[in-house]
Amino acid sequence: MGTINTPIGDKPPEDPYAKYRVQELQRDAAAKEPPPKEPNLPPEKSPFILASLYTLFRKVVQLFEEKTARGVPERIETEVRAHLLAFKMSFKTLRAEDRSQDVGFLNELSTQWHWLLEDIVRFRRASPFLTAFRGLIREMQSYPLNEPHTFGYYLSEYAGQSWLPFPYLALIHRLHQEGTVLDGWMAQIDNLVGLLSTK
């Protein structure tokens, strides 16, 4: 009798996976060598240089740009006038209809508020316009008096939000119902636009 390692029968055992085996590929000797390393070069400086040159060019142009009596170029006054008029149109819309539940309208109002906050910083030279502009912003920021959160707070904090707090919606509804506050602010905006028109 044979041992365990001797096969039964005349044929040696067959490998059941022989037909699935893949022949090993022989690689070229050149393919085994790693490609030569490129020298460590610093990143290109051309975008930085171009940005610096553009900034320098803008500053030089601003030096020679004609400024109005309020110390800003006319194009900036034109932008500020457009922002003020857009804010006034939003107030007219709010005065005519209750938009307290319109999130899109309230987000647009917040965007316009941020434009005004950015615009007020552009004016550096003291003028009647700047005094009136600061007064309007201060008045809107503190309305209603003696409340923990004001109109200016809500416009600043909830810009672009899809969910708005109920007190903010109630404040917008109150502005629509009372109307006199909006009328006063629109009159102040008309005054500001008139001051911008004078040279």
Tokens of residue 107, six digits: 């987000």
- Determine which of 47-51, 81-85, 188-192 has the lowest per-residue pLDDT on average: 47-51
Burial 163-172 (b: 16+ CB within 10 A, else e): ebeeebbebb
In whole numbers, what is the pLDDT of the chain averaged over residues? 83
Question: With bands split at pLDDT 50, 70 and 90, how would you rate the model's confidence at 22?
Answer: confident
Rounded to 5 degrees, what angle do the CA atoms 24, 27, 29 make? Answer: 150
Give the mean pLDDT of 146-150. Answer: 89
Q: Are 89 and 83 in contact (CB under 8 A)?
A: no
Percent of the chain having pLDDT more than 90? Answer: 48
How far does the chain reach from its first CA to its final CA, in angstroms?
Answer: 121
pLDDT at 150: 93
pLDDT in the model for residue 52? 82
Cis preceding linkage at 43, omega within 30: no
Predicted confidence (pLDDT) at residue 126 exceeds the cutoff of 90: no
